[in-house]
Amino acid sequence: MEMLPLEICMKIFCLLDYQHLAVAQQVCRKWKLVASDNTLWSNLFKERWGEDHAAFYAPMGSKSWKDVYEVQDRCDRIGLGMKIIREGIDYYLVHQGEIQRHLGSRKNHEKETGHNSHTLNSEIDFNGEGSLAEERSCRGILDRILFFIGDLEVASAEAKRSRVI
C-alpha cells in the first residue's frame, strides 16, 4: 500500500484528540515525530483548558506541549496532592501532576513472585538487617501495599470526578 504524504497526515492529526494522537505516536518513528508536534498539542490544550491557562502553563526549556498536556491531565484526574497512582502496569508517586518516583511494575512483581527470582525490581530503599530471604519477603509486602493504594486511586478516580460534576 502507498503511504500517505506527511502533509495529509498532519491534516488528519489536527482532527484527532489526545488519545488517538497517543496511538498515532506508537505507529512508527516518523509518526511519533509528526504526532508530537507542538502545534497539535498546544491546540488541544487551549481547546480543553482555554487560552489563559495555556499562556500560564506554556512549556519552558526542553519541555514540550505534550508534556504540559500530560501533567495538566493528571491534575484533572487526581488533584494536586501527593498520591500513588497506576498508569498501565506501572505505579507512580505523583505530586501536582508530575511524576516524582516510579514505584514498581505489576508485571515485574508477578515475575518475581512466580519465578522466585533473586532479582529485585522495586526502587524502594529498604534499610534493614537480616537474611536475603527475609528482605525479599518484606519488599513483597511493601509492593502489595503500594499497588493496592494505586489500584484504589484508579478505581475511585471516576467516582470523584462524578461527584465534582
Partner 1 sequence: MAKESGSSKIEMLEISNEAMAEAQSSKIEMLEINNEAMAEAQSSKTVTMKPAEAEESKTETQKITDEESKNVPIAATEEESKKLSITKVEESKNAATATTEGEKEEAKVSLKTLDGVTFEVEAWIAKEMETVQAYIDDTSADTSAAIAIPLHNVAGRELARMVEYCKEHRRASVSAGNLKEFEERFAAALNLYEMKDLIIAANYLNTKKLLESLSRCIAKAIKNKSVEFVRDYFGVTNDYTTEEEAQYRETNAWAFRNVDEDSRN
Task: Name the residues that contact partner 1, by CB under 8 A.
Answer: 1-5, 7-9, 11-20, 22-32, 70, 73-74, 77, 87-90, 154, 157-158
Contacts with 138 (C-beta within 8 Å, 6 or more apart), sequence order: 126, 128
* Shortest Cβ 12–partner 1 spacing (Å): 5
Nearer to partner 1, 74 or 139 (CB): 74
Residue number with CB closer to partner 1 (130 or 152): 152
Q: Residue 32 or 53: which CB sits closer to partner 1?
A: 32
Phi and psi angles of residue 98, each rounded to the nearest 5 degrees, phi first: -95, 140
Closest distance to partner 1 from the beta carbon of 4 (Å): 6
Distance CA(162)–CA(165), nearest Å, equals 5
b (16+ CB within 10 A) / e for 117-144: eeebebeeeeeeeeeeeeebeebeeebe
Least distance from partner 1 to the Cβ atom of residue 10, Å? 9
